[in-house]
């Protein structure tokens, strides 16, 4: 087995060998990338991506060396939650439409170039925390295009189609895109669970879980350039989602000949819309303003039911938990940009936001209502923020991005619980980029982040999976994380890049489970914790090994965390975190037949969950997939096999007869499940 230090040494060794060979054969490398006049920016022209036979801008971005798409962090505010992809230097003024969907609606012939911005942002519309960004620049005179894709997947025992189509064109001074997307998938988990008890009979459980989801999404985006050079954008997104699942658990005690039957049903309907807009105006060459507005509403109708046919003890139970909820968000943001000082790009402004969730629930057992405190409530937050940032060219090699935001928010809860609290947070950030040569770069980021609360944590709900009740907590407050992150990056050849990052997080008021009784808990702030680790990202061609037109992208991350367990008083890791991650993707081009093949493998280490009276160990997750891709007559065909080896997903739940620190083990649930291998065939193109 390849040990961790052997793996890291192998990556560094390949990097060194690749660098040496490229240095010896520099004249043979097709130079399709170039450095711009700005430090840290690499430009990729469309010719660079032709070796991958792209269809849309998404194919371009996915093949940028040393880059992976980040949709944005779960932090407060519109600006702070930005991802790491820009379109024409601007962040899309939407939160519900992810960047992959947006890029898939841009045909490859509409792209002029792709810029990779490393470190210094130069005042681009990025939001906070991003140290490496891709900027997709579109052609000004691109004509009408119709990108499309349709995928057939065999999963969950049935053939499921899904697809999308978009139309992009220009009318007078308005560019517009209309996109329609249909998503659908089915899943099936088959396995068994052993219940090991300390006093009563053990139990064998034969389980099958099935589910399906269906989505319809409509997107309309417009961009109008007015006569005075102002730019006005208006976006709409509407979606409808249906999801249902059922689980059949045949539970046979060791001293019985017949099985008790547990049937669990979940039905969820979600309707959502979002309207967003932004307006840009230049007062002068050095001073500009951008206004952003966003309104979204989400309507949820959820029902969970559990029917128990208890053959062995005649204790049949019918339980239902029904919830109707509305989630809403409204944002107004103003950004002012000024570059009147040499070597400075200053942005300042303010943001105001209102969020609320209104939830009404009903808990029924054997046709009788059961009181559940905190299940009917409304939670709202009114938040205001002012911010300023400055991108400074300190020297020809050193650039600094400094920012400070101060926010004040008031959270109110009414209904079953009446409560109101006000918070004030400062969010400073400093990013430094030092360019030591044309191919090497050092980056440092120091930032104070404030987490975004999940308002459903304020609401009580039934949990049928483990037979628990999740109690809402009206005293929950956002966690704050001080982030220190240092990165070294070295690029070699046309696509080779290796980066190594060390990080440290100091978390205040970490959100986890807090005890509310001897065997009950709720989401709450458990105190302060720390997280630290390292990550290596590596992209290399295989010319050094004599394999032409091949590349590998590798990510390895290792982290540790520590927080005081409120039940035992001892240090433990953060709950539900997987400390180790390994992802490997290999791709080989067969340009003579316009095809490619490859594989992807990822592995995540085990995660742990800590309740007051229980401990859950979710074992290591591992997946492998292979693909074959070919292009003919402008149509790309991709055959894919996911979860190639149909690996099991283990889960061990240990439940005590009291709190974990004083109770004895009551029973242990040992589960092994497989969710099957998926086969898919995808057709895509641009009309």
DSSP per residue, 286-311: SEEEEEEEEEEEEEEEEEEEEEEE-T
The whole-number pLDDT of residue 546 equals: 86
Q: Is the pLDDT of residue 545 over 90?
A: no
The answer to whether the CB of 435 falls within 8 A of the CB of 441 is yes
Q: Note the pTM of the prediction, 2 decimals.
A: 0.87
| Cβ-contact 240, 196 below 8 angstroms | no
Out of 263-277, 362-376, 623-637, 661-675, pick the least confident. Answer: 362-376
User: What's the mean pLDDT in 393-400?
Assistant: 89
Task: Give yes or no for a contact between 683 and 632, defined as CB atoms under 8 angstroms apart.
Answer: no
pLDDT at 6 over 70: no
pLDDT tens per residue across span 276-333? 999 999 999 899 999 999 999 999 999 999 898 888 776 778 888 889 999 999 999 9
Report the range out of 131-145, 304-318, 628-642 with the highest average pLDDT: 628-642
Among 39-48, 430-439, 543-552, whose mean pLDDT is lowest? 39-48
The 3-class secondary structure across 146-187, one letter per residue, is CEEEEEEEEECCEEEEEEEEEEEEEECCEEEEEEEEEEEEEE
565, β-bridge pairs:
none
**Would you kindly state where each structural domain of the chain is located, as residue ranges?**
4-686
Long-range contacts of 442-445 (CB under 8 A, 24+ apart): 442/486, 442/487, 442/488, 442/489, 443/118, 443/119, 443/131, 443/485, 443/486, 443/487, 443/489, 444/485, 444/486, 444/487, 445/129, 445/131, 445/483, 445/484, 445/485, 445/486
> What is the C-alpha separation between 531 and 481, in angstroms, rounded?
10
Lowest mean pLDDT among 1-5, 50-54, 241-245, 290-294: 1-5
- pLDDT category at 417 given cuts 50, 70, 90 is confident
Q: Give the integer Cα–Cα distance in Å for 49 and 32.
A: 9
Helix (H) or strand (E) holding 523: strand 521-541
pLDDT band at 164, cuts 50/70/90?
very high
192: its two tokens: 């068994």
- At residue 128, the pLDDT reads 54
Q: Does domain 4-686 have CATH number 1.10.150.20?
A: no
Predicted confidence band at 240 (pLDDT cuts at 50, 70, 90)?
very high
């Amino acid at each position: 087995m390849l040990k961790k230090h052997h793996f890291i040494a192998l990556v560094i060794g390949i990097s060194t060998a690749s660098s040496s060979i490229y240095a010896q054969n520099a004249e043979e490398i097709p130079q399709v990338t170039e450095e711009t006049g700005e430090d840290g920016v690499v430009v990729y022209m469309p010719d660079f991506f032709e070796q991958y036979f792209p269809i849309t801008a998404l194919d371009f971005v996915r093949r940028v060396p040393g880059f992976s798409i980040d949709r944005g962090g779960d932090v407060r505010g519109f600006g702070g939650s930005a991802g790491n992809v820009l379109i024409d230097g601007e962040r899309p003024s939407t939160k519900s439409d992810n960047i992959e969907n947006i890029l898939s609606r841009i045909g490859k012939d509409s792209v002029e170039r792709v810029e990779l911005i490393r470190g210094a942002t130069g005042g681009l519309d990025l939001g906070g925390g991003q140290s490496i960004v891709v900027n997709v620049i579109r052609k000004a005179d691109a004509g009408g295009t119709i990108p499309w894709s349709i995928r057939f997947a065999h999963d969950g025992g049935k053939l499921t189609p899904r697809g999308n189509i978009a139309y992009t064109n220009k009318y007078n001074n308005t560019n517009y895109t209309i996109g329609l997307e249909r998503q659908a998938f089915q899943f099936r988990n088959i396995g068994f669970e052993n219940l090991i008890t300390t006093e009563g009979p053990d139990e064998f459980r034969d389980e099958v879980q099935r589910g399906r989801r269906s989505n319809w999404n409509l997107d309309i985006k417009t961009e109008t350039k007015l006569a005075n050079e102002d730019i006005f954008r208006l976006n709409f997104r509407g979606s409808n989602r249906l999801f249902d699942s059922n689980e059949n658990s045949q539970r046979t005690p060791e001293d019985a000949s017949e099985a008790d039957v547990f049937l669990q049903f979940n039905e969820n309907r979600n309707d959502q819309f979002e309207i967003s807009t932004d307006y840009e105006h230049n007062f002068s060459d050095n001073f500009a303003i951008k206004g952003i507005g966003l309104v979204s509403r989400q309507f949820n109708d959820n029902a969970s039911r559990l029917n128990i046919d208890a053959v062995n003890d005649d204790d049949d139970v019918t339980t239902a938990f029904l919830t109707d909820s509305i989630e809403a968000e409204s944002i107004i943001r103003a950004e002012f940009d000024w570059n009147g000082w040499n070597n400075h790009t200053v942005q300042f402004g303010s943001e105001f936001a209102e969020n609320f969730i209104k939830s009404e629930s009903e808990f029924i057992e054997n046709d009788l209502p059961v009181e559940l405190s905190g299940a009917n409530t409304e939670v709202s937050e009114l938040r205001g923020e002012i911010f300023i940032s400055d991108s400074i060219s300190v020297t020809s090699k050193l650039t600094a991005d400094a920012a400070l935001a101060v926010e004040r928010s008031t959270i109110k809860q009414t209904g079953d619980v009446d409560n109101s609290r006000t918070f004030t947070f400062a969010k400073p950030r400093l990013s430094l980029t030092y360019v030591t040569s044309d191919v090497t770069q050092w980056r440092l980021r120091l930032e104070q982040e404030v987490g975004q609360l999940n308002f459903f944590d304020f609401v009580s709900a039934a949990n049928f999976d483990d037979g628990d009740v999740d109690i809402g907590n009206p005293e929950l407050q956002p966690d704050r994380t001080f982030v220190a992150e240092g990165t070294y990056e070295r690029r070699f050849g046309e696509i080779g890049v290796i980066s190594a990052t060390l990080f440290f997080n100091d978390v205040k008021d970490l959100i986890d489970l807090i005890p509310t009784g001897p065997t009950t808990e709720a989401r709450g702030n458990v105190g302060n914790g720390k997280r630290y680790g390292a990550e290596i990202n590596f992209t290399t061609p295989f010319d050094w090994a004599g394999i032409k037109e091949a590349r590998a992208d590798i990510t390895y991350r290792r982290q540790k965390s520590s927080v005081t367990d409120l039940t035992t008083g001892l240090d433990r890791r953060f709950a539900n975190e997987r400390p180790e991650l390994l992802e490997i993707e290999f791709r080989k081009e067969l340009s003579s037949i316009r095809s490619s093949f490859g594989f992807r493998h990822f592995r995540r280490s085990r995660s742990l969950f800590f309740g007051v009276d229980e401990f859950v160990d979710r074992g290591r997750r591992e997946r492998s997939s292979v693909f074959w891709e070919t292009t003919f007559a402008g149509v790309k065909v991709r055959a894919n096999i996911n979860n190639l080896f149909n690996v099991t997903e283990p889960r061990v739940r240990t439940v005590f007869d009291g709190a974990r620190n004083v109770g004895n083990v009551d029973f242990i649930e040992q589960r092994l499940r497989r969710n099957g291998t998926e086969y898919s065939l995808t057709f895509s193109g641009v009309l």
